[in-house]
Chains A and B, each alone.
Chain A
Amino acid sequence: MTVADTRTSPRATAISGWTLIWVAAVACVAILYMLPGIAPWAAKYPSDAVIPIADWISAFMVWLKTNFTWLTRGITDIFNVPLQWAISLFAKGWKFGYGPDALVLPRLSWIGVCTAFALAGYAFGGIRLAALAAGCMIYIALFGQWDSAMLTLALIAISVPLCVVFGLLIGILAFRKPWIDRAIIQPMLDLMQTMPTFAYLIPMLLLFGNSPVSGMLATAIFAMPPMVRSTVLALKRVPHEIDDFGEMVGCTQRQKLLKVLLPSGRPTLMVGVNQVIMLALNMVILSSMIGAGGLGYDVLLALRALKIGQGMEAGLAIVALAIVLDRLSQAAARQRPTAHMPDQTFLQRYPMLTAAMAVLAVTTLMSHFVPAFASVPGAIKMSTAPWWKAVVDWVNIHFFDAIEAFRTFLLLYILNPMRDFLVGFPWLGMVFLVGLAGYRLSGPRLAAIVVVMTAFCAATGLWEKSMATLYLCGVSALVAALFGIALGIAASRSDRFAAFLMPICDTLQTLPSFCFIIPVVMLFRVGDVTAMIATVLFAIVPAIRYTNHGIRQIPENLIEAATVSGCTPRQMFWRVQLPLALPEIMLGLNQTVLLALSMVIICAMIGTRDLGQEVFIALAKADAGRGLTAGFAIAFIGIVADRLLRASTDRLQSRLGLV
Chain B
Amino acid sequence: MNNQAPLRDEMNAVADDRPVKLRCKDVWKVFGAGAEKFLASREGVATSESLAEAKLVGAVRHASLEVKRGEIFIVMGLSGSGKSTLVRCLSRLIEPTWGSVELDGMDLLKAKPDELIEIRRHRMGMVFQHFALLPHLTVLENIAFPLSVQGVDRKSREERARKVIELVGLSGREQFYPRELSGGQQQRVGIARSLAVEPEIWFLDEPFSALDPLIRREMQTELVRLQSVLKKTIIFITHDFDEAIRLADRIAIMKDGEIIQTGTPEELVLHPATDYVAEFTRDVQRSKVMSAARLMRPVTPSADYGGTVQATDKISTFSARIVGCRKSFLVTAPDGKPLGEVTPDAVIDLLADRDPLREARV
Contact = CB atoms under 8 A, between A and B. Distances in A.
Contacts of B137: 263
Nearest to A244: B93
Contacts of A266: 135-136
A242 B134 contact: yes
B130 A241 contact: yes
A338 interface: yes
Contact of B132 (A241, A338, A340, A342): A241
Contacts of B176: 339
B150 interface: yes
A245 interface: yes
B130 to A, nearest CB: 5
A404 interface: no
Contact of B120 (A247, A337, A339, A340): A247
Interface string A243-280: 01101111110010001100110100000000000000
A191 B5 CA distance: 79
B126 A245 contact: yes
A341 interface: yes
Contact of B177 (A259, A339, A341, A342): A339
The prevalent SS among residues of B at the interface is mixed
B180 A339 contact: yes
A259 B138 CA distance: 14
A247 B93 contact: yes
A403 B145 CA distance: 67
A263 B132 contact: no
A377 interface: no
A336 B148 CA distance: 22
Contacts of B128: 241, 244-245
A250 B130 contact: no
Given A248-B126, A252-B117, A339 B138 contact: yes
A46 interface: no
Nearest to B180: A339
Contact of A255 (B93, B119, B149, B197): B149
B146 interface: yes
Contacts of B175: 339-342
A250 B149 contact: yes
A4 to B, nearest CB: 37
B239 interface: no
Contact of A249 (B130, B135, B149): B149
A291 interface: no
Nearest to A249: B146
A252 B136 CA distance: 20
A126 interface: no
Interface residues of B, number: 37
A339 to B, nearest CB: 5
Contacts of B159: none
A579 interface: no
Contact of A337 (B124, B131, B136, B205): B136
Contacts of A74: none
Contacts of B238: none
Contacts of A239: 130, 132
B91 interface: yes
A251 to B, nearest CB: 5
B325 to A, nearest CB: 51
A249 B128 CA distance: 12
B88 interface: yes
A289 B132 CA distance: 50
Interface string B141-174: 0000110111000000000000000000000001
Contacts of A337: 136, 138, 177
B180 A244 contact: no
A264 B175 CA distance: 18
A347 B132 CA distance: 32
Contact of A260 (B117, B134, B138, B177): B134
A338 B139 CA distance: 11
A248 B134 contact: no
Given A245-B128, A259-B145, 10 more contacts: A241-B128, A241-B129, A241-B130, A244-B132, A250-B146, A251-B149, A264-B134, A337-B177, A339-B177, A342-B175
6 tightest Cβ-Cβ pairs between the two chains A and B: A250-B121, A250-B120, A241-B132, A249-B146, A245-B132, A241-B128
24 contacts: A241-B128, A241-B129, A242-B134, A245-B132, A247-B120, A248-B93, A248-B125, A249-B121, A249-B146, A250-B117, A250-B118, A250-B120, A250-B122, A250-B150, A251-B149, A255-B149, A260-B134, A263-B136, A336-B135, A336-B177, A336-B179, A338-B180, A339-B175, A339-B177
Interface of A: 239, 241-242, 244-245, 247-252, 255, 259-260, 263-264, 266, 336-342
